[in-house]
C-alpha cells in the first residue's frame, strides 16, 4: 500500500468525527505530492471565495481572504468553465494561458510572494449545493503537475467527499430526531463502531455485507484476516485489538473470494465535544473500503 495515500485517507475519515482535523488532513494531501500545502476552496454567496488551509499555508490564506478572494483568476475561470460541478482534476494550463501565468497579478503579486506557482484541483461534491474543491499548492521551484498526479488527486478527492458527507450527516441538526442507523445506512462507507473492549456496538448495512470473508464477528468482537506481526507469516482471523497493538496504521484485510479491503481504525476522542449519543460508549470507529483498483489510480512515490 502507498503509506502516504493511506495515511491521508485515514485522516479524512478522522476529520468526519472531528472537523478540527481538516487542516491536518489537507496537509496530508500536500504530503502525497511533496508539496507546500493544500486548501479546501469554496464559493461564497457574494461571488468571492473562502478557504480552509493546511498549516503551512496559513499566512498565504489570510492574505488571500483579505485581498485576493475576488481576484483569483484560477478559481474564477474554473467556475466559469464548470469545473466546480465536475470531477475532472485540473491544473493551471486548463484555465489560464502561459502569458497569464507570467503576468497576471494573482501569480506575480500574490503567489510569487509566498514562493508558490502551480496548482492541481478537483471538485468535492458532497450534496451540499456548495462549490468546493481541493487545491494542492506547488512551489515555484517545481515542475507542473503531471496527468498521473491529477489522477492521484482525483482518487483522494472521492474519499474527501465521503468524509464530508459523513460529517454533515453526523452534525446536521435536522437529522437529530433520526436514529443513528437510519443516518449511517445512507453513507457509502462501511462502518463498525466498537466499545472499549473491541465489541461491535453498531455496523451499517455495507459493513455487514463484508462479514463472512476476511471480516468476522466472534463473540461480538470484530476479527480481521490479516498479518498481525512480521514473525507470523500465515494469515488468520485475529481480534482487531490484537492487530492494532502491533500497528495503528491502515490494515490490509485479505479475502478468499474478493479483492482485499483496507481498514482504517479511528480513535474516538474521550471528553471532547461529541454531539452524537452513540459516541459516548464508542472508543473506535473502523472504516472499510475496497482496495481493488486503487493501485491503478496511484503513481509510485518514494517516502
> Looking at residue 188, what is its pLDDT?
66
Average pLDDT over residues 70-85: 95
Ordered by start, the domain boundaries in the chain are 3-170, 177-297
pLDDT of 294 over the 60 cut? no
Q: Does domain 3-170 have CATH number 3.30.450.80?
A: yes
| pLDDT of 81 over the 80 cut | yes
Q: What is d(CA 79, CA 95) in angstroms, rounded to the nearest whole number?
A: 10
Q: What is the mean pLDDT of residues 249-276?
A: 72
* Contacts of 274 by beta carbon, 8 Å cutoff, 6+ apart: 268, 280
CB 95 within 8 A of CB 7: no
Q: Tell me the CATH number of domain 177-297, given options 2.30.29, 1.10.10, 3.30.450, 1.10.3470.
A: 3.30.450
Question: C-alpha grid cell for residue 205?
Answer: 448495512
Q: Provide the CA 286 distance to its chain's centre, in angstroms.
A: 15
Residue predicted with more confidence, 17 or 260 = 260
Share of the chain above pLDDT 90, in %: 37
Pairwise pLDDT comparison (111 vs 302), residue with the higher score: 111
Select, from the ranges 8-17, 148-157, 181-190, 192-201, the one with the highest average predicted confidence (pLDDT): 148-157
Average pLDDT, the chain: 79
CB count, 10 Å around CB of 221?
Answer: 16
- 43-77 residue pLDDT tens: 888 889 999 999 999 999 999 999 999 999 999 99
Q: For 108-131, how does the pLDDT look when each residue is reduced to its tens digit (9 = 90+)?
A: 999 999 999 999 999 987 555 678
pTM of the model: 0.62
- Smallest CA-to-CA distance from 165 within 134, 129, 194 is with 129
* Residue 225: strand pairing partners: 237
- Split at pLDDT 50, 70, 90, the class of 154 is very high
At 175, is the pLDDT very low, low, confident or very high (cuts 50, 70, 90)? Answer: very low
**pLDDT at site 111:** 98
Compute the distance between CA of residue 25 and CA of residue 10 in angstroms, rounded to an integer: 9
At 183, the pLDDT band (50, 70, 90 cuts) reads very low
Q: What is the mean pLDDT of residues 94-118?
A: 97
Q: What is the pLDDT of residue 57?
A: 96
Amino acid at each position: 500500500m502507498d503509506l502516504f495515500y493511506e495515511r491521508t485517507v485515514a485522516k479524512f475519515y478522522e476529520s468526519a468525527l472531528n472537523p478540527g482535523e481538516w487542516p491536518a488532513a489537507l496537509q496530508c494531501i500536500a504530503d502525497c505530492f511533496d508539496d507546500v500545502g493544500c486548501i479546501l476552496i469554496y464559493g461564497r454567496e457574494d461571488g468571492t471565495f473562502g478557504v480552509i488551509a493546511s498549516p503551512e499555508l496559513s499566512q498565504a490564506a489570510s492574505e488571500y481572504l483579505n485581498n485576493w478572494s475576488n481576484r483569483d483568476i484560477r478559481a474564477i475561470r474554473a467556475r466559469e468553465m464548470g469545473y466546480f460541478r465536475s470531477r475532472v482534476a485540473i491544473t493551471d494550463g486548463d484555465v489560464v494561458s502561459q502569458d497569464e501565468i507570467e503576468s497576471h497579478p494573482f501569480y506575480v503579486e500574490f503567489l510569487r510572494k509566498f514562493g508558490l506557482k502551480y496548482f492541481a484541483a478537483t471538485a468535492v461534491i458532497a450534496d451540499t449545493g456548495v462549490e468546493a474543491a481541493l487545491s494542492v499548492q506547488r512551489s515555484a521551484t517545481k515542475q507542473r503537475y503531471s496527468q498521473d498526479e491529477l489522477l492521484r488527486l482525483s482518487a483522494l478527492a472521492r474519499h474527501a467527499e465521503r468524509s464530508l458527507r459523513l460529517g454533515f450527516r453526523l452534525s446536521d441538526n435536522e437529522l437529530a430526531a433520526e436514529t443513528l442507523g437510519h443516518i449511517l445506512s445512507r453513507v457509502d462507507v462501511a462502518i463498525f463502531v466498537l466499545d472499549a473492549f473491541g465489541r461491535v456496538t453498531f455496523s451499517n448495512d455495507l459493513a455487514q455485507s463484508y462479514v463472512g470473508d476476511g471480516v468476522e464477528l466472534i463473540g461480538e468482537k470484530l476479527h480481521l484476516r490479516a498479518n498481525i506481526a512480521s514473525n507470523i507469516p500465515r494469515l488468520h482471523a485475529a481480534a482487531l485489538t490484537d492487530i492494532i497493538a502491533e500497528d495503528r496504521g491502515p490494515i490490509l484485510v485479505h479475502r478468499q473470494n474478493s479483492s482485499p479491503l483496507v481498514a482504517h481504525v479511528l480513535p474516538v476522542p474521550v471528553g471532547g465535544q461529541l454531539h452524537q449519543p452513540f459516541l459516548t460508549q464508542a472508543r473506535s470507529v473502523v472504516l472499510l473500503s475496497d482496495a481493488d483498483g486503487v493501485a491503478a489510480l496511484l503513481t509510485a512515490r518514494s517516502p
